[in-house]
Amino acid sequence: MNHHSTIANTEVVRLITIPISHYCEKVRWALDLLKIPYIEERHVPAFHLWATRKHGGSSVPILVAKSGNFIDSTDILHYLDTLNPENQGLYPKEPELRREVEELEELFDARLGADTRNWGYFYRSGDRETMRTGWCDGTPQLERLGFEIIFPFLSSTIRQRYNIQRFPLYNGTINNNKISSCIKN
């Protein structure tokens, strides 16, 4: 279990993840920042589907809480923000500032995170050792064994799913320049 809660009577939630994911990392950071106790349940990509489907999702992260299952990283952060309304929250209280923060969050999720993921997959998705290190850390032993069997299929599926034939460095540069200009403003 991670962290002791500073929020009175906070339940221990379960976070279903894969080891490497910018969406999962975003939720881990939020839980750690708010000091909300959680148990992380890591899965090897593809094997995560058995865990997520039980809770109404098909991707990670999923937060399983007494009040429901939250199946999107942004929805999870909005829920977590309600757990500590008096003290440190995740979003500004002022509506205009909150809107700006949420726009940046969406930009980082959709562009910076996705471009970074695709860059990594372009260069490393065919490297069994690197992917084993990244995808299998802290996962169940049976899934780690399964990784060894399905790696060629999994690597190919990742490249197809994210359309990774060649890395669009030029487009990535344009997107990251857009992100830089948003941050500066």
pLDDT tens figures, 23-68? 999 999 999 999 999 999 999 999 999 999 999 999 999 999 999 9
Contacts of 144 (CB under 8 A, 6+ apart): 44, 132, 136
Report d(CA 162, CA 171) in Å as an integer.
15
Q: Which residues pair with 15 in a beta bridge?
A: 40, 63
pLDDT tens figures, 161-174? 998 876 555 455 54
Q: Cβ(71)–Cβ(51) under 8 Å?
A: no
For 145, counting Cβ atoms within 10 Å of its Cβ (0-12 exposed, 13-18 middle, 19+ buried), the class is: exposed
pLDDT tens figures, 128-172? 999 999 999 999 999 999 999 999 999 999 999 998 876 555 455
For 46, counting Cβ atoms within 10 Å of its Cβ (0-12 exposed, 13-18 middle, 19+ buried), the class is: middle
pTM exceeds 0.75 for this model = yes
Cis peptide before 61 (omega within 30 of 0): yes
